[in-house]
């Protein structure tokens, strides 16, 4: 069985080389990139949310975007903030293990302005825009994160994903949301740059579903799945219950052609994950394709959708939640070959 589990994140996990990944299997891994992902409910949870993503290496941002998702799972986004976010041309300043206890770690940029500060109790403060004019929020951590040690069916060698509840303001308006603090790691080997890149398993053939929410009774919930289209692994956790992990997760549902693509790209907008004795139901509500000002149609085979999820036979709602489903190389003919049905 693949080596992955739910666990409490420690102060050491914020370091560049966490102790839990210092072994031969993980290649004595070091941090490769830091990802921030967030779903922001600006006008209540019944409205299409704003979605944010920043993917950065330890010293620079690779890309960032904040978009208004489309109404309906087969629609596309419109720009919320893209060019006015700290992106690839921004100079990133990092600080690690600051003496100003209990601040542990952080990074910032001046033009455009952004600032992330990570604290010993697991909270994060986050600003976008001068004086937080775009976003000014505090993130309260879920009690556990999902950790993965190196295995083949995941697109990165080693990583963790950790959801947080968001409170604060967006463009000066009160909001609520959920955001993830995610980190990816690659083996720390002394080789040339080309070989080092290969240690980051840059597969373009994967499905990932990252779901987190707070039920109306206050219990927090996580469902995370990743893998290729024939082999999914992941975990499910509901506060108060023992976590479930499985490297033979079933996904049941039909794929649908994206109506605005002519290259056979598909998305699955309503499906079930079967993991151990649990069944997690997902229904797509809001569409996007990348975090660019206009849909990233050049990313052939990529599809993304947000929606709702619940576990079991009786549907229920969350007071706040985030779902992010992304597919890469999701082409109709390939999906049919592995046994899926594709519909228009």
| 9-46 pLDDT per residue, tens | 998 998 889 999 998 888 888 888 899 999 999 989 99
Average per-residue pLDDT in the chain? 90
pLDDT bucket at 1, cuts 50 / 70 / 90 = very low
pLDDT above 80 (res 65): yes
Over residues 301-323, the mean pLDDT reads 97
Sequence-separated (6 or more) residues with CB below 8 Å from residue 191: none
C-beta separation of 176 from 192 below 8 A: no
326: its two tokens: 């992304």
207: its two tokens: 């499905």
C-beta separation of 224 from 5 below 8 A: no
pLDDT score at 290: 93
How many CA within 13 A on the CB side of residue 144? 21
* CA torsion through residues 34, 188, 210, 300, sign: positive
Range from 27-36, 123-132, 277-286, 308-317 carrying the lowest mean pLDDT: 27-36
pLDDT score at 200: 52
Over residues 65-84, the mean pLDDT reads 95
- Distance from C-alpha of 130 to C-alpha of 127, rounded to nearest angstrom: 8
- Distance from C-alpha of 230 to C-alpha of 123, rounded to nearest angstrom: 37
The pLDDT tens digits for 102-151 are: 878 889 999 999 999 999 889 999 999 999 999 999 999 999 999 998 86
DSSP class per residue in 204-250:
S-EEEEEEEEEETTS-EEEEEEEEETTEEEEEEEETTS--EEEEEEE
- Distance from C-alpha of 70 to C-alpha of 284, rounded to nearest angstrom: 11
Helices (H), the chain: 193-198, 332-337
pLDDT above 60 (res 194): no
198, 266, 332 from 262: Cα distances, Å: 31, 10, 11
pLDDT above 90 (res 199): no
pLDDT score at 292: 92
pLDDT bucket at 80, cuts 50 / 70 / 90 = very high
pLDDT score at 81: 97
Over residues 45-71, the mean pLDDT reads 92
Rg, Å, the chain Cα set: 19
Instruction: Give the rounded percent of residues in the chain with a pLDDT score beyond 70.
Output: 91
pLDDT above 50 (res 192): no
72, 173, 315 from 318: Cα distances, Å: 19, 22, 10
93: its two tokens: 């300043």
* CA torsion through residues 55, 221, 127, 302, sign: positive
- Distance from C-alpha of 204 to C-alpha of 224, rounded to nearest angstrom: 19
Range from 201-205, 314-318, 339-343 carrying the lowest mean pLDDT: 201-205
Backbone phi, psi, residue 287, to 5°: -105, 155
- Distance from C-alpha of 156 to C-alpha of 141, rounded to nearest angstrom: 23
- Distance from C-alpha of 173 to C-alpha of 114, rounded to nearest angstrom: 18
- Angle (CA) 262-264-269 rounded to 5° is 110
Range from 178-192, 237-251, 270-284 carrying the lowest mean pLDDT: 178-192
pLDDT bucket at 99, cuts 50 / 70 / 90 = low
């Amino acid at each position: 069985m693949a080596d992955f589990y739910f666990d409490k994140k420690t102060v050491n996990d914020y370091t560049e080389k966490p102790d839990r990944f210092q072994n031969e299997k993980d290649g004595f891994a070091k941090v490769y990139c830091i990802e921030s992902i967030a779903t922001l409910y600006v006008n209540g949870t019944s409205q299409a949310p704003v979605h944010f993503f920043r993917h950065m290496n330890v010293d620079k941002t690779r890309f960032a975007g904040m978009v208004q998702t489309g109404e309906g799972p087969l629609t596309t986004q419109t720009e919320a903030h893209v060019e006015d976010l700290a992106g690839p041309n921004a100079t990133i300043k990092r600080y690690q293990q600051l003496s100003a206890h209990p601040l542990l770690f952080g990074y910032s940029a001046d033009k455009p302005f952004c600032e992330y500060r990570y604290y010993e109790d697991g909270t994060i403060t986050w600003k976008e825009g001068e004086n937080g004019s775009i976003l000014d929020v505090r993130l309260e951590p879920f009690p556990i994160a999902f950790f993965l040690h190196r295995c083949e069916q995941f697109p990165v060698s080693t990583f963790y994903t950790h959801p947080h509840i968001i409170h604060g303001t967006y463009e000066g308006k009160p909001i609520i949301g959920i955001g993830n603090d995610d980190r990816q790691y690659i083996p720390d080997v002394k080789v040339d740059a080309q070989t080092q890149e290969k240690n980051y398993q840059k597969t373009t053939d994967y499905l990932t579903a990252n779901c987190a929410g707070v039920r109306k009774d206050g219990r927090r919930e996580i469902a995370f799945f990743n893998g290729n289209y024939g082999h999914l692994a992941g975990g499910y956790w509901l506060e108060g219950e023992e976590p479930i992990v499985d490297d033979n997760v079933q996904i049941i549902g039909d794929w649908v052609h994206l109506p605005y693509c002519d290259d056979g790209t598909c998305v699955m907008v309503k499906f079930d994950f079967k993991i151990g004795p649990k069944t997690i139901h997902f229904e797509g509500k809001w569409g996007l394709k990348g975090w660019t000002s206009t849909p990233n149609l050049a990313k052939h085979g990529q599809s993304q959708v947000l929606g709702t999820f619940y576990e079991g036979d009786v549907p229920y709602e969350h007071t706040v939640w985030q779902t992010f489903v992304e597919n890469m190389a999701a082409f109709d003919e390939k999906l049919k070959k592995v046994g899926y049905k594709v519909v228009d």
